[in-house]
Amino acid sequence: MTFTYPLFDTPLIGIYFIVLAFMFGAILASFITCTAWRVVRGEDWKLGHSHCDTCGHELSTADLFPIVSYIALKGKCRYCGSKVPPRDLIFEILLGLLFAGTLALHGSIDAAVVAALALEMLLLGLSLADWDSGVIPDGFLAAILVVWILTAGFRTDVQKFAIEGVIVFLCTGILMAIGTFIAGSIKKAKLSYGPAKLSMCLMLFLGFRGAVIAAVAGILLGIFFTLVCKSKKRKISLAPAISLAFIFAFLLKDALVLLGARIPF
């Protein structure tokens, strides 16, 4: 099932959808950063209005417009005037740009791009949760599997997608579990299997070639993030590295297709 819109044939329609994707990304970023924050603090992520972290005042709808509210209120709480960290604003702009870029590269609205946007949102949430708490919450991984189940059936290449995905899923699981076990034995510490589980879930969405690209990018980014965490003397968080590697592999595939390269992975 594909809804193809003439992104490159009719620039105005293309721009309309890309702007819409940016706004959608910004709105979902404020939702997911709030969710991640609540999960990390053990609060119920579903219920309750957002509130100011300093004064506890409940935020009104007018305070919750992504990007616009932050700029209008000059980065301060409307009620107590305390400074709101720019982190949320940065992630709203980031996810907005990522959504817009993903749609622009993909050029049509189908199951693959819907899955990509949903994953980008979930990856932002679980990366923030991992960075703040050192744990990748299982709830986010379950949500990734739900995205796979809901979107796989709508793909035109469902059979190839499912078979390759499951093979890569199993291989990644075995390799990463062995790697985690060996690294844990050398360090004489019990390492989390969170990064292994996350990699497995994401590999479901990539074919063989995409998986190789994601694995290489993941190893390089993993080393980079390990060095950054060590230099900051903080617990090593690998979720951001794994997330970026996956998004890179996904976008590269679309970029190559766009450029006319015959790499149908």
If the CB atoms of residues 83 and 235 are measured against Zn ion, the closer one turns out to be: 83
- Supply the minimum distance, in Å, between the C-beta of residue 55 and Zn ion: 3
Determine the residue type at 56: G
- Which of 52, 59, 191, 236 lies at the binding interface for Zn ion (CB under 5 A)? 52
Q: Do 54 and 124 form a contact (C-beta atoms < 8 A)?
A: no
- Supply the minimum distance, in Å, between the C-beta of residue 69 and Zn ion: 13
Does 248 contact Zn ion by CB under 5 A? no
Q: Which residues contact 130 (CB under 8 A, 6 or more apart)?
A: 136, 194, 237, 238, 239, 240
If the CB atoms of residues 85 and 260 are measured against Zn ion, the closer one turns out to be: 85
Task: Please give the radius of gyration of the chain, using alpha carbons only, rounded to the nearest integer.
Answer: 20
Alpha helices of 134-204 — where are they, by DSSP H? Answer: 138-152, 158-187, 194-203
Does 60 contact Zn ion by CB under 5 A? no
Using the rule CB under 5 A, give the single segment among 27-35, 73-81, 123-131, 224-232 that binds Zn ion: 73-81
Q: Which residues contact 255 (CB under 8 A, 6 or more apart)?
A: 105
Using the rule CB under 5 A, give the single segment among 52-60, 65-73, 132-140, 216-224 that binds Zn ion: 52-60
Does 73 contact Zn ion by CB under 5 A? no
- Which of 19, 20, 55, 166 lies at the binding interface for Zn ion (CB under 5 A)? 55
Does 247 contact Zn ion by CB under 5 A? no
Q: Which burial class, exposed, middle or buried, applies to 182 when counting CB atoms under 10 A from its CB (0-12, 13-18, 19+)?
A: exposed
If the CB atoms of residues 10 and 54 are measured against Zn ion, the closer one turns out to be: 54
CA dihedral angle for residue 56, residue 61, residue 63, residue 67, rounded to 10 degrees: 130
- Which of 13, 20, 71, 80 lies at the binding interface for Zn ion (CB under 5 A)? 80
Does 18 contact Zn ion by CB under 5 A? no
Residue 22, Cα to own-chain centre: how many angstroms?
Answer: 15
Does 79 contact Zn ion by CB under 5 A? yes
If the CB atoms of residues 2 and 54 are measured against Zn ion, the closer one turns out to be: 54
Helices 208-231 and 239-258: crossing angle in degrees, nearest 10, is 140
If the CB atoms of residues 11 and 81 are measured against Zn ion, the closer one turns out to be: 81
Give the separation between CA 115 and CA 197, rounded to whole angstroms: 18
- Supply the minimum distance, in Å, between the C-beta of residue 53 and Zn ion: 8
If the CB atoms of residues 38 and 51 are measured against Zn ion, the closer one turns out to be: 51
Q: Which residues contact 4 (CB under 8 A, 6 or more apart)?
A: 107, 108, 109, 110
Provide the 10 A C-beta neighbour count for residue 73: 14
Does 84 contact Zn ion by CB under 5 A? no
- Supply the minimum distance, in Å, between the C-beta of residue 45 and Zn ion: 21
Binding site for Zn ion (CB under 5 A): 52, 54-55, 77, 79-80
